[in-house]
């Protein structure tokens, strides 16, 4: 696979230095200014941009710490909003916050203030969406890392921001500290991106890369929860909902396709077992939670699921909590973005970089986006793992069910050492539609010999393009 590997560039380097109309209100110097003209560099230098942080958790406190350490000229933190604000104000992290900052648990204090930029780091849709709509309507730009909000409401919020000549910027919403969003918008805006694939959930990558060494899912999940990588209820991560939101955001900016997140197919990683990695190794693959989207005319094929990934793919090289995204363009080929996608400080760097871009009046690339139908079907080889009470005729029954829907078997693998009354073995298929194979798998699951539902995974195909 021919790739252009792109190391993590500074976010501000990926944005145009031209001041935008949408941020002219942030750069007004005292005195007169000609209507309709962009502010001069000297005016920008004398205008202090006032900033409020909504949410003083891991990322919010890290943003405050970065601002305090860097002391960027012309940027001043003035407000911090959080529920139970006194507890946050007395925390160790609050020691980095300047004494003059206003702490409050009343959102109206922020919305009625002379704050220029609201940094939203609370997450979720309600009540955050309503607050940010009021902020934008009041002429305040918004910087956010809220992937659910941007996936479901991003297009509407962007229109609202444009109407009020302010900005909505969300470079930290995908892959945390890895500049995927500004990299695509600014660095790849001239290409025609046809495909996205990658790892955008560090929790799942941590779990699966640990299982690659022989650990079992339940044990690794418990470790991830103890380390703070996974929530007490890990569903958003392990069932693909977090990655699904991020894939929709990337599809909007790279494929110019607006997708309904609820229509994107997802598959949990909780069905993966250590034995699957043993079989994957025999196939020169590993297993990762892959988010992928591919444009074909007015349709976008999109899916978030554990997949077999060939060891020759860059996606197979990502371990621990790392994120990796491969962007495939018609003219520029493949570009790989990789790095630490989670954690307070990496995400804070992305947030502060967005803040600086807004404060300095930098443009973001705006390209037309259209609503697209989304389907989860892909033409790909597939991996089927069965656990059976072994008896004669099982392979014949599987072959017959696959033949009935027109699917050809590529290989059959059976590792020695397992008891016959609980035998795991694998069938791989030649390329076929996922929906076609699902029909056969539903029929096979009803066989008396099946001890658990068959596991079906797509095999990620690596294209060698020059």
pLDDT band (50, 70, 90) for residue 228:
confident
**Whole-number percent of the chain with pLDDT over 70:** 89
- Strands, E, within 357-446: which ranges? 362-363, 370-371, 373-375, 379-380, 382-388, 409-413, 423-429, 432-433
**What is the overall mean pLDDT for the chain?**
89
Predicted confidence (pLDDT) per residue in 331-351, tens digit: 999 999 999 877 788 899 999
- Does the CA dihedral 354-360-361-367 come out positive or negative? negative
Predicted confidence (pLDDT) per residue in 435-452, tens digit: 999 999 999 999 999 999
- Spell out the residues 6+ positions from residue 323 whose beta carbon is closer than 8 angstroms to its own: 175, 176, 178, 180, 198, 199, 200, 201, 202, 205, 337, 338, 339, 340, 341, 342
Predicted confidence (pLDDT) per residue in 53-105, tens digit: 999 999 999 999 999 999 999 999 999 999 999 999 999 999 999 999 999 99
pLDDT band (50, 70, 90) for residue 27:
very low
State mean pLDDT over 41-57. Answer: 80
Alpha helices (H) in 138-240, listed in sequence order: 147-163, 180-182, 202-211, 217-227, 235-238
State mean pLDDT over 232-238. Answer: 95
pLDDT band (50, 70, 90) for residue 412:
very high
**Strand, helix or coil at 361?**
coil
Q: Which residue has the tokens 């949408």?
A: 22
pLDDT band (50, 70, 90) for residue 40:
very low
Question: Is residue 384 within 8 Å of 407, Cβ to Cβ?
Answer: no
Query: SS in 3 state form for 263-323?
Result: HCEECCCCCCCHHHHHHHHHCCEEEEEEEEEEEECCEEEEEEEEEEEECCCHHHHCCCCEE
State mean pLDDT over 399-427. Answer: 96
Q: Is 134 a catalytic residue?
A: no
Q: Which of 22-26, 328-332, 430-434, 441-445 has the lowest mean pLDDT?
A: 22-26
Among 269, 285, 63, 26, which Cα is nearest to 176's?
A: 63
What pTM was estimated for this model as a whole?
0.87
Percentages helix, strand, coil for the chain, rounded to the nearest 5?
40, 25, 35
C-beta pairs of 41-44 under 8 Å, 24+ apart in sequence = 44/19, 44/74, 44/360, 44/361
| pLDDT at res. 2 | 36
State mean pLDDT over 312-318. Answer: 93
Helix axes 241-250, 147-163, angle to 10 degrees: 30
Question: Is residue 281 within 8 Å of 451, Cβ to Cβ?
Answer: no
pLDDT band (50, 70, 90) for residue 4:
very low
C-alpha–C-alpha distance, residues 28 and 234, integer Å: 46
C-alpha–C-alpha distance, residues 16 and 364, integer Å: 7
State mean pLDDT over 312-340. Answer: 94
Q: Which residue has the tokens 């997802």?
A: 266
Comparing 39 with 445, which gets the higher pLDDT? 445
pLDDT at 160 over 60: yes
Q: Which residue has the tokens 């955001």?
A: 249
pLDDT band (50, 70, 90) for residue 29:
very low
C-alpha–C-alpha distance, residues 29 and 240, integer Å: 47
Predicted confidence (pLDDT) per residue in 355-369, tens digit: 999 999 987 777 789
Which residue in 5, 37, 246, 439 is the catalytic one? 246
Comparing 3 with 115, which gets the higher pLDDT? 115
C-alpha–C-alpha distance, residues 323 and 252, integer Å: 19
pLDDT at 179 over 80: yes
pLDDT at 45 over 60: no
- 354-379 as b/e: b if 16+ CB within 10 A: bbbbbbbbbbbbeeebeebebbbebe
Question: Is residue 138 within 8 Å of 160, Cβ to Cβ?
Answer: no
pLDDT at 237 over 60: yes
Domains, the chain, ordered by start? 3-29+39-169 (3.40.50.720), 187-339 (3.30.360.10), 379-458 (3.30.70.260)
Question: Is residue 176 within 8 Å of 292, Cβ to Cβ?
Answer: no
- Spell out the residues 6+ positions from residue 119 whose beta carbon is closer than 8 angstroms to its own: 51, 52, 53, 54, 60, 63, 142, 143, 144, 351, 355
- Spell out the residues 6+ positions from residue 51 whose beta carbon is closer than 8 angstroms to its own: 67, 75, 76, 77, 78, 79, 115, 116, 117, 118, 119, 355
Among 338, 346, 427, which Cα is nearest to 176's?
A: 346
Secondary structure letter of residue 38 according to DSSP: P
pLDDT band (50, 70, 90) for residue 6:
very low
- Spell out the residues 6+ positions from residue 90 whose beta carbon is closer than 8 angstroms to its own: none
C-alpha–C-alpha distance, residues 382 and 458, integer Å: 5
pLDDT band (50, 70, 90) for residue 250:
very high
C-alpha–C-alpha distance, residues 129 and 125, integer Å: 5
């Amino acid at each position: 696979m021919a790739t252009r590997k792109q190391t993590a560039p500074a976010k501000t380097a990926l944005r145009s230095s031209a001041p935008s109309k949408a941020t002219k209100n942030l750069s007004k110097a005292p005195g007169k200014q000609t209507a309709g003209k962009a502010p001069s560099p000297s005016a920008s230098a004398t205008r202090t941009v006032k900033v409020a942080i909504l949410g003083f958790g891991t990322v919010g406190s890290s943003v405050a710490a970065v601002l305090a350490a860097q002391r960027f000229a012309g940027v001043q933190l003035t407000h911090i909003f959080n529920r139970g604000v006194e507890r946050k104000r007395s925390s160790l992290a609050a020691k980095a916050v300047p004494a003059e900052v206003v702490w409050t648990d009343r959102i109206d204090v922020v919305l009625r203030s002379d704050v220029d930029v609201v940094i939203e780091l609370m997450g979720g849709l309600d009540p955050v969406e309503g607050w940010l709509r009021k902020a934008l309507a009041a002429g305040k730009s918004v910087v956010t890392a809220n992937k659910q909000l941007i996936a479901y409401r991003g297009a509407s919020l962007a229109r609202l921001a444009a109407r009020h000549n302010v900005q909505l910027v969300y470079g930290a919403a995908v892959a945390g500290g890895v500049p995927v969003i500004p990299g695509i918008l600014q660095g790849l805006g001239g290409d025609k991106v046809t495909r996205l694939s990658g790892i955008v959930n560090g929790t799942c990558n941590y779990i699966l890369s640990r299982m690659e060494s022989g650990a079992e899912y339940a044990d690794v999940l418990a470790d991830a929860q103890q380390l703070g990588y996974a929530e007490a209820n890990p569903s958003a991560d392990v069932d693909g909902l977090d990655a699904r939101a991020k894939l929709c955001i990337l599809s909007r900016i790279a494929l110019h396709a607006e997708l309904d997140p609820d229509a994107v197919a997802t598959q949990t990683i909780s069905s993966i077992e250590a034995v699957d990695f043993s079989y994957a190794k025999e196939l020169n693959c590993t297993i990762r939670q892959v988010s992928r989207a591919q444009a074909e005319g007015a349709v976008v094929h999109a899916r978030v699921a554990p997949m077999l990934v060939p060891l020759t793919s860059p996606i197979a090289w990502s371990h621990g909590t790392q994120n990796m995204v491969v962007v495939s363009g018609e003219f520029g080929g493949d570009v790989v973005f990789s790095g630490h996608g989670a954690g307070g400080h990496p995400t804070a760097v992305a947030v502060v970089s967005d803040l600086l871009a807004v404060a300095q009046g930098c443009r973001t690339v705006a390209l037309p986006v259209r609503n697209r139908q989304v389907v989860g079907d892909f033409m790909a080889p597939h991996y089927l793992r069965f656990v059976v009470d072994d008896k004669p005729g099982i392979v014949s029954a599987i072959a017959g069910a696959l033949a009935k829907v027109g699917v050809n078997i590529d290989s059959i693998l059976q590792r020695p050492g397992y008891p016959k009354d609980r035998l795991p073995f694998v069938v791989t298929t030649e390329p076929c539609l996922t929906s076609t194979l699902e029909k056969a798998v539903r029929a096979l699951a009803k066989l008396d010999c099946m001890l658990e539902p068959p596991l079906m995974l797509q095999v990620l195909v690596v294209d060698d393009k020059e």
